[in-house]
């Protein structure tokens, strides 16, 4: 393989090994490297098409003088890498592309397939570390991180953040009478219903066996939080059909704390919301309770 083809491969390898680089950057930079590795670099343009998303050189255009290679991830084709000449190369009796160029593109496609597979595995591991395996909701670890960001944003914008701690009523009895399959189904459906009650910018997390946390950022007052809680309670109280022949009716006790009224630190807000939830559960008169900010956390 000639020097410029090798240089291109080395350049792609360096991109792949760059710490902290995003997959999109690797693909775009690879596209920029390719034209210079061909016989007529001034006429060459390149594109990577990965799962419908294109990464192209600025002067990209298709032509009949085209060389391409499949990008395979776990033996399945996920995309293509291609080089085109924007006009016909000079007639010199040779094939449009040299064998070295064909080989280089195959090697580049193989490298990209391997790095895509590696990046996806890293993303999956990171996701599993911060998301509940059953409901796929964020765990308490990720919820704390998002609450910290929500508090910082609220401090700058002079808005409020509501923290809602939710515990399902009668969940233990459901688990014991109908089994863990029914219990798991209730938890999954509860997570789905909670997501339907909040905005895309809010966070719903599973923080315990049958405990959930809702973080609503960018609200203006307690009234906004109470409206969210009312929607949550109304939807959680709807019957759940399990296996077509059994209807499960449940409910939830919810505690609410508000930044900055009930504290400036995320741990204090979570604790006060949880305490308010326990108060609501004990009283049995009202499905939700507002934190008592006069009690120190």
Residue at token pair 């960001």: 149
Residues with Cβ within 8 Å of 156's Cβ and at least 6 positions away in sequence, in order, are: none
Integer distance in angstroms from the first to the last C-alpha of the chain? 69
What sections of 17-51 are H helices per DSSP? 23-33
- The CB density around residue 238, as the number of other CB atoms within 10 Å, is 11
CB 287 within 8 A of CB 233: yes
Strands (DSSP E) along the chain, which ranges? Answer: 44-50, 53-56, 66-73, 76-85, 160-169, 203-206, 211-219, 240-242, 246-248, 251-259, 288-290
- 139-155 core/surface letters (b: 16 or more CB in 10 A; e: else): bbebbbebbeebbeebe
Beta 251-259 vs 160-169: how paired, if at all? antiparallel
232 alpha carbon, distance to own chain's centre: 23
C-alpha span between 297 and 291 (Å, rounded): 10
Instruction: Give one word for 77, left, alpha or beta, with left for phi > 0 and alpha for psi -120 to 50.
Output: beta
* Selected catalytic residue, list 210, 221, 262, 292: 210
In the residue annotation, 210 being an active-site residue is answered as: yes
Question: CA–CA separation, 255 vs 116, rounded Å?
Answer: 43
Query: Which amino acids are annotated catalytic?
Result: 210
């Amino acid at each position: 393989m000639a020097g410029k083809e090798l240089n291109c491969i080395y350049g792609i390898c360096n991109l792949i090994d760059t710490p902290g680089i995003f997959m999109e950057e690797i693909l775009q930079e690879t596209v920029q490297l390719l034209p210079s590795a061909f016989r007529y670099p001034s006429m060459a343009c390149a594109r990577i098409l990965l799962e419908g998303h294109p990464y192209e050189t600025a002067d990209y255009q298709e032509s009949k003088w085209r060389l391409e290679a499949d990008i395979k991830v776990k033996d399945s084709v996920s995309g293509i890498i291609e080089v085109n000449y924007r006009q016909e190369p000079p007639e010199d009796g040779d094939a449009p592309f040299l064998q070295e160029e064909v080989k280089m593109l195959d090697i580049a496609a193989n490298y990209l397939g391997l790095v895509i597979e590696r990046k996806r595995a890293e993303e999956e591991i990171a996701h599993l570390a911060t998301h509940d395996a059953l409901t796929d909701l964020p765990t308490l670890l990720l919820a704390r991180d998002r609450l910290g960001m929500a508090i910082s944003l609220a401090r700058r914008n002079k808005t409020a953040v509501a923290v809602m701690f939710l515990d399902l009523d009668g969940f233990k009895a459901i688990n014991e009478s109908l089994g863990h399959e029914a219990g798991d189904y209730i938890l999954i459906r509860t997570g789905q219903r909670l997501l339907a009650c909040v905005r895309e910018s809010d966070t719903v997390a599973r923080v315990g066996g049958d405990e959930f946390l809702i973080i609503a950022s960018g609200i203006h007052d307690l009234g906004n939080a109470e409206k969210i809680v009312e929607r949550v309670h109304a939807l959680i109280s709807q019957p759940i059909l399990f296996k077509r022949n059994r209807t499960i009716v449940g409910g939830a006790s919810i505690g609410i704390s508000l930044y900055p009224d009930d504290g400036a630190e995320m741990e204090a807000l979570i604790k006060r919301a949880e305490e308010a939830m326990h108060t609501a559960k004990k009283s049995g008169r009202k499905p939700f309770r507002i934190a008592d900010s006069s009690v120190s956390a």
